[in-house]
Amino acid sequence: MRTLNVILPGASYPIHIGAGILRSHLPGLVSQATREAAIVVTTGNVARLYPDAVGAALRDLPVRLATVVLPDGERHKTLDTMATIYDGLMQARANRKSVLIAFGGGVVGDMAGFAAATFMRGMPLIQVPTTLLAQVDSSVGGKTAVNHREGKNAIGAFKQPVGVVMDLEFLRTLPRREQRAGLFELVKHGIVRDRALFDDLAAAQALLSEPPGSAGSWAFWEDAVYRSCRVKAQVVQEDEREQNLRAILNFGHTLAHLIETHTGYETYLHGEAVGTGMLFAAFASHVWGLLPAEDWQRIRALLEPLVVPVRLAPLDRARFIELLLHDKKASEASLRFIVLEGLGRAGIRPGTTPAELWPLFERFTADQPQVLRLAA
C-alpha cells in the first residue's frame, strides 16, 4: 500500500492506493469528516457487485448510513439525475456535517462531487473510485461536473475531497473495455509529464492487456496507479483552478469531447474517446513540427493497439467548429489546444482556432481510418 499526499492551500488530503485497503483506510477518513451521517452515492452495477462493501467497512462507526443509487452510464450524467442525489440527501437528513462518499466510476465521482460542492453550499466528500479511469483521473484534483447536451462537463464546480481510497481489488471485476478506457488516462500522464512512466508502460505492454491482479501483478498496478496519480497531483498542486499549467491534463480531450458530444454520450466510453483524441493531438503536434517523428511513432505503437475504432456520423466543417466552440475550454473563436514538444513535455497552444484544426482533422481521418472514420 502506498499513500500520496496532495498539498493545496486550503484542502490537503491523502490518496491511499493498494489492494484490499477499503476496510483499513475508509473508516479513518469518515471519522475525520463526520460524527453524524455518511451518504453513499453509487450505481446499480456497483451496488450489485459490492452490495455491502462500504457498510461493512464502516460497521464499527457510530454514524448513520444511507445509500443513493444512480442509473449507470455517461448519458445519465445530467442535471436531471442530480436531482436524485439531492432528493436522497434530503431524505437522509444530511447537512454540512454529513459526509458524502462517491463509490463508483468517474460518472459517480463527478456527480457526487458536484453534489458535495453545492448541497447546503458544501459538505465533505470522500472518493472511493472503483474503475481504473476514476482512480487515475476523476477522483484526483477536485474537478466535478455534469454534461449538457451541447457540451461535455459544461456545468460544474471545484470540490477537493477529504481523502481518496483506491482499493485495487475493485479492478478484478472491471470489464476489459473499462480497463482499457482507464489505461488511456494513465498513459496520458506519462505522455504529458513523465517520460519514464511512459517508457515503463511501453515496456510492460503485455501486462496492460492482463486483468489487474492476475499472475501476481498487483505490484505493477500499484506502482503504475501511484505514479500516474503523482503526475496529476503535482500539476494540481501547481495550478489547482486550471489557470494555466493544469490545462495540459486535457491533452487529447478537445477531440474526445467532440466525439462524446457528437455521439450523444452513448457510444464510446470517455477513456476510449480520449485515446483517439490523444492520437489526434500527437498527430497535430507532429505535423506542426513540434513532436519528433520518433516520439510520434512510439506513441502510435503504444496507443493504436488499444484504441477502439471510432465511427462518427457525418460531420462537416461548420458542425466541427460548432462542437469545438461549445467545449468548456474554448474561448470565443479559439481554444487552448494541448500539444507535445516531446514525450513527457506537453505545452499549451493558445489561440488555436477550430478552422485551423479542421484540415488536420480531415487529414487524420484520411491517414488513420483504422482509428477514426466518418460515415459516408
Active site residues: 121, 143, 185, 232, 242, 246, 250, 253, 257, 270
CA distance 350 to 362: 21
Q: What sections of 73-208 are H helices per DSSP?
A: 79-91, 106-118, 132-133, 176-193, 195-203, 205-208
For the chain, count helices (H), then strands (E).
15, 14
54's grid cell:
462500504
Within its chain, how far is the Cα of 256 from the centroid? 12
Q: List all residues 6 or more positions away from 362 whose beta carbon is below 8 Å from its beta carbon.
A: none
Amino acid (1-letter code) at residue 246: R
User: How many Cα neighbours within 13 Å face the side chain of 356?
Assistant: 14
Angle between helices 317-325 and 253-262 (to 10 degrees): 110
